[in-house]
Each structure stands twice: as structure tokens, then as C-alpha cells.
């Protein structure tokens, strides 16, 4: 899966505060029209550490939060009290605020014993395939993974397949990432249903990794290449 691909469109910000303000502005610009047109809107957020820098700024937005459905791009198969839970991070950094507390949060993790067993229930909780997400925000690891779509995963080709209709898929514990637990992830095809998709990066190494990945053009080696000319917000 190596070929020339369009370069990402990078907007550079001076610092983390400017980046957070830009992300919040993008959320507002995506959500308000959806609520005005349809009475509701949908937002997909990343897990990991990246959102902790911008979610408090997003939480302060004066939105009709009760009309917003919030989803995660991926989840580790751990219970919410775990510090490794993306849902726990989201509740702490966003949903604990008075406005966002009114939003409808749809976690990927459920009561099933494994991610494989829980995939069907997670899939059923997603919006109709005919309803695009208003905004998808993603992060990226230094290895070029996004969501839980990791290089070396035995499911990688399927997760990147634009014709994959799974929408959400169970993936085995990654070899080179922590925690080493099974996960659920939205597929590339599902993430691409967004009206707008932004990759949010911090630190020079992350930007260098992204640009090097696109120069090499091998999505199996660095899955982020499969996002093509994705819109990127970056700060040092």
C-alpha cells in the first residue's frame, strides 16, 4: 500500500493555547450549523493524551450541549475507573463541566467481556450510516497510528479499507503501544464519513513524523498516510 498521496494541509499555531482556541473554534463552527439545520450535531473525539490540552477550552463553549452527541474514535477495553480509559479522560476533561455535562456521550466500552464480544453493541450505538459526523478530531502517535489503527496490526489492511462496512472493529492488543489491551476503533471508512476531519498534533517530533510518513507514502508502515490530504492543526 505504497503510492504518492496528497500532502496534509498543516496550519501551524504558536503554542498550545492558540491550538486549543483553534480547535474550540472548529468545534463551534461545526456544531452550530448542525444544530440549526437538524436540531442535533455529532462530534468524534480522540483518546490518549492529546485532547487533554484542548478539551477544557472546548468545554467553555456556549453551545446547546444537550443537542450534541459525542463519540470516541477508539477505546481501550478497560473499565472507566482505569487511568487508561479514554472515556474516563473525556469525563474528566470535558463532560465534568456544566455545559458539556448535558451532552449525550456514547462510550464504545460496554459490559461485554472482550472488545470482540462488545463490537456489535458498540456498532449499534453509532449514528445511522446515512448521518455524517459534523466533526471528527483525531490525534496521532509517533509511529503514525491514529485511533487504534496501528502499524503491524493483523487487522490493518481491513481497518484501512475504504469499502469496509464494519464501522467499528475490535483490534488485538498492539505490540508497540501501552496499555497492551484489546481495543475497539472506528475504521478509516467510518471516520471519513465526517463533514470535517482534523488531525490535532503537538510537538515538533509529531509533525516531523507526519511529514516523513507522507513522503514515504506507505500506509501499512504508517497508517496516518491513509488520511491523505487531511487538515492538520499543529503547535510546538
pLDDT of residue 190 exceeding 90: yes
Evaluate whether residue 64 is within a structural domain: yes
CATH number reported for the structural domain that contains residue 206 in this entry: 3.40.50.1360
Q: What is the mean pLDDT of residues 202-206?
A: 96
Q: Total structural domains in the chain?
A: 1
Evaluate whether residue 52 is within a structural domain: yes
Question: What pLDDT, on a 0 to 100 scale, did the predictor assign at position 4?
Answer: 53
pLDDT of residue 72 exceeding 90: yes
> Is the Cα dihedral 192, 29, 131, 120 positive or negative?
positive
CB atoms within 10 A of CB 30: 21
Strand arrangement, sheet containing 74-76: 74-76, 183-186, 168-171
3-class SS string, the chain? CECCCCCCEEEECCCHHHHHHHHHHHHHHHHHHHHHHHCCEEEEECCCCHHHHCHHHHHCCCCCHHHEEEEECEEECCCCCCCCCHHHHHHHHHHCCCCHHHCEEECCCCCCCCHHHHHHHHHHCCCCCCCCCCEEEECCCCCCCECCECCCCCCHHHHHCCCCCCCEEEECCCCCCCCCCCEEEECHHHHCCCCCEEEEEECHHHHHHHHHHHHHCECCCCHHHHHCCCEEEEEC
Q: What is the mean pLDDT of residues 59-65?
A: 98
Evaluate whether residue 58 is within a structural domain: yes
Q: Higher confidence at residue 202 or residue 1?
A: 202
Evaluate whether residue 60 is within a structural domain: yes
Question: What pLDDT, on a 0 to 100 scale, did the predictor assign at position 5?
Answer: 63
pLDDT of residue 229 exceeding 70: yes
Evaluate whether residue 78 is within a structural domain: yes
CB 47 within 8 A of CB 33: no
Q: Which domain holds residue 89?
A: 13-235
pLDDT above 90 covers a percentage of the chain that reads 92
Evaluate whether residue 96 is within a structural domain: yes
Question: What pLDDT, on a 0 to 100 scale, did the predictor assign at position 179?
Answer: 86
Mean pLDDT for all residues in the chain: 96
Q: What is the pLDDT of residues 35-51, one digit of tens each?
A: 999 999 999 999 999 99
Q: Higher confidence at residue 179 or residue 111?
A: 111
Separation between Cα atoms, residue 4 and residue 68, nearest integer Å: 38
Q: What is the mean pLDDT of residues 100-123?
A: 98
Evaluate whether residue 1 is within a structural domain: no
Pick left, alpha or beta for residue 39 (phi over 0 → left; psi -120 to 50 → alpha; otherwise beta): left
Q: Higher confidence at residue 132 or residue 178?
A: 132
Q: What is the pLDDT of residues 4-35, one digit of tens each?
A: 567 799 999 999 999 999 999 999 999 999 99
Evaluate whether residue 3 is within a structural domain: no
Amino acid at each position: 500500500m505504497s503510492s504518492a498521496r496528497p500532502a496534509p494541509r498543516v496550519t501551524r499555531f504558536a503554542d498550545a493555547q492558540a491550538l486549543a482556541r483553534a480547535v474550540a473554534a472548529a468545534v463551534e463552527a461545526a456544531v452550530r450549523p448542525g444544530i440549526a439545520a437538524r436540531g442535533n450535531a455529532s462530534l468524534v473525539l480522540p483518546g490518549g493524551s492529546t485532547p487533554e490540552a484542548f478539551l477544557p477550552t472546548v468545554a467553555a463553549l456556549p453551545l446547546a450541549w444537550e443537542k450534541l452527541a459525542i463519540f470516541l474514535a477508539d477505546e481501550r477495553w478497560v473499565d472507566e475507573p482505569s487511568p487508561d480509559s479514554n472515556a474516563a479522560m473525556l469525563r474528566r476533561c470535558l463532560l465534568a463541566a456544566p455545559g458539556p455535562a448535558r451532552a449525550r456521550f456514547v462510550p464504545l466500552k460496554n459490559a461485554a467481556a472482550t472488545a470482540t464480544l462488545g463490537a456489535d453493541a458498540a456498532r449499534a450505538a453509532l449514528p445511522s450510516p446515512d448521518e455524517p459526523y459534523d466533526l471528527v478530531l483525531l490525534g496521532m502517535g509517533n509511529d503514525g497510528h491514529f485511533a487504534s489503527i496501528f502499524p503491524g496490526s493483523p487487522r490493518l489492511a481491513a481497518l484501512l479499507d475504504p469499502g469496509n462496512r464494519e464501522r467499528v472493529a475490535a483490534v488485538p492488543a498492539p505490540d508497540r503501544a501501552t496499555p497492551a489491551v484489546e481495543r475497539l476503533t472506528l475504521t478509516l471508512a467510518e471516520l471519513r464519513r465526517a463533514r470535517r476531519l482534523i488531525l490535532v498534533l503537538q510537538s515538533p517530533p509529531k509533525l516531523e513524523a507526519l511529514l516523513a510518513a507522507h513522503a514515504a507514502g506507505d500506509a501499512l508502515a504508517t497508517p496516518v498516510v491513509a488520511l491523505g490530504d487531511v487538515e492538520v492543526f499543529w503547535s510546538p
